[in-house]
Structure 1
Amino acid sequence: MTEAPSPTSKAAGRRQPHLPLIMMYHSVGTHQHDPNNLVVTPERFEEQMATLKRRGLRGVSVAELLAARAAGSARGLVGLTFDDGYTDVIENALPVLQRFGFSATSYVLAGRIGGANEWDEGTPWPLVDEAGIRRWADAGFEVGSHGTMHVALEGARPEVLRAEIADSRERLSDLLGKPVGGYCYAYGSMDAAARSAVAEAGYEHACAIISRQSLGPQALPRIYVGQAHTSKHILKMLYTYRLHRRISGRHAL
């Protein structure tokens, strides 16, 4: 089946506006053991979303953000992403996002649906099951792939790249009944081979972590958001990111 060209491919060859900020979340809940600072409480998350709303900004999925950017209408938008697919994102973040009129992207692990984050130390946290994935998608939000088993891809063998990238897309597309367009690198780990594999698998875009390099739609930069980020920090983050984009003059992300 031939898929429609992505918004980013349509805009190829044109100088595009700056890529708006994409925020990177993980868990939205309460966990006693959080050595990697991945948890944001529901109260803090709502405070952060309210800050965006007061500034006249709207949180959107990566797919919506890139489509708006290609159309020249991304002003006032902020990308919202959630890595790993924790159950508490469906329970706690989804209602808040809906209340504010926002959307977001959830990057889930095709091989750990209904499982737990066994790659991390400490007490495992539950991961979303098929019903939760469908609930997110039925709300009109984007579901993307975070790979199959949460494996670092920098220097990975071809068979690992295939399993984590192409196979995960196929499994999630079958579950949702439509092609999955977005990918997210576990640990932010990737190299040229991984980016090429993402493009060859048919993904329209992929998210990394903040980078000083312009690596194109297969490695979109994001900024981590955690429990320590109050309204004041969010405002500073927005200002600093815009200033950085303006000074760097990078348009081809």
Structure 2
Amino acid sequence: MFHEAASSAGQVRLTTPPVFMYHSISPSGGPDPHRLRVHPDRLDRHLRLLRRLGLRGVSLSELLRAQERREAHRLVGLTFDDGYTDYLEHALPVLQHHGMTSTLYVVAGRLGGTNEWDEAPRLDLVDADQVRAVAAAGQEIGSHTMTHPHLPRAGASALLEEISGSREVLQDVLQSAVPGFCYPYGEFDDAAREAVRAAGYDHGCVIGDYAPGDRFTLPRCYISPRDTSAHLVARMARHSLRLGLRGRL
């Protein structure tokens, strides 16, 4: 069983260990107006910190499976949004060096394209072959919709295409199940949450929200380009206090 607590919205809140949310991992010194780019050396320092603390970073599915067995107390989740190609070049080697896994959330309708939902700079996105390469390296692939839209107040047909359609595309690419979903911008409403459940996903994650914090709205800690090891420790402590996990991490 998961550690559970009732939320004000009536859903069952999961008191999981913290999940960190990264985006681009790159040494580029170019403009970064959306605060997406973490230097590979900084990622390396973050993972070294986890090891010093006796923690191991894992994909979100692995974290939830361990939580079901009540074996997640020395784990944290590692996720990377949008599916940038620099994940393969810069993030994956660091993860492998430290013996850790992660979930890469891919925008299924933009494979091989760029982050058209953002203003410049344009960043390259993984194509189908690279998605398969990430999975072959032992990392998890999750869906980040078809086109990275704002989901709240979207119509039923748009939700079906963005949420269920993206899962079908990625499962066709991988020839295996895609269990996880990530809401673009961390935004959701009841209709979007229900669409994720109805599409057959095992879980979904947001950004920083702790209500309801159930299986389809799991909270994550945003990691900024300037976050130091001290920031990570503070984020873990804040997460533990909010969910009553003191002594469990």
Number of aligned positions between the proteins:
239
What is residue 70 of structure 2 aligned with on the other side?
A: 72
SS at match of 2:110: coil
Distance between the aligned counterparts of 1:110 and 1:244, measured in 2? 33
Structure 2: how far apart are the matches of 1:21 and 1:247? 10
Q: Where in structure 1 do 4 or more consecutive aligned residues deviate above 3 Å?
A: none
Gaps of 5+ in 2: 7-11
User: Are the equivalent residues in 1 in contact too, given 2:205–2:218 (CA < 8 A)?
Assistant: yes
> C-alpha offsets along residues 179-198 of structure 1, whole Å, 9 cap, x if unaligned?
11000001111100001000
Instruction: Indicate which of 183, 186, 189 corresponds to 1:185.
Output: 183
Unmatched tracts of structure 1, length 5 or more: 1-6, 249-253
Q: 2:20 aligns with which of 7, 10, 23?
A: 23
Answer yes or no: is 1:222 the counterpart of 2:220.
yes
- Structure 2 letter corresponding to 1:232: A
* RMSD of Structure 2 on Structure 1 (CA): 2.1
Change (3 A) 1:247 1:43: closer
User: What's the TM-score, normalizing by structure 1?
Assistant: 0.90
- Report deviation, 1:17: 7.4
- Once the two structures are superposed, residues 6-53 of structure 1 have per-residue CA deviations (whole angstroms, 9 ceiling, x without a partner) of x87xx999x997310000000000251111101101111111111111
SS of equivalent residue, structure 2 residue 121: coil
Match of 1:50 in 2: 48
Aligned partners of 2:245 and 2:76: how far apart in 1?
19
Taking only the aligned residue pairs, the percentage that are identical comes to 45
2:117 — aligned with what? 119
Aligned match for 1:37, one of 31, 35, 55: 35
**Alignment counterpart, residue 153 of structure 1, candidates 142, 151, 174:** 151
Q: How far 1:143 sits from its partner (Å)? A: 0.2
Contact 2:42 / 2:228 at 8 angstroms: preserved in 1? yes
Counterpart for residue 3 of structure 1: none
Structure 1 range deviating more: 236-245 or 39-48: 236-245
Structure 2 matches for 1:102-117, cutoff 5 A? Answer: 102-117=100-115
Residue 163 of structure 2 aligns with which residue?
165
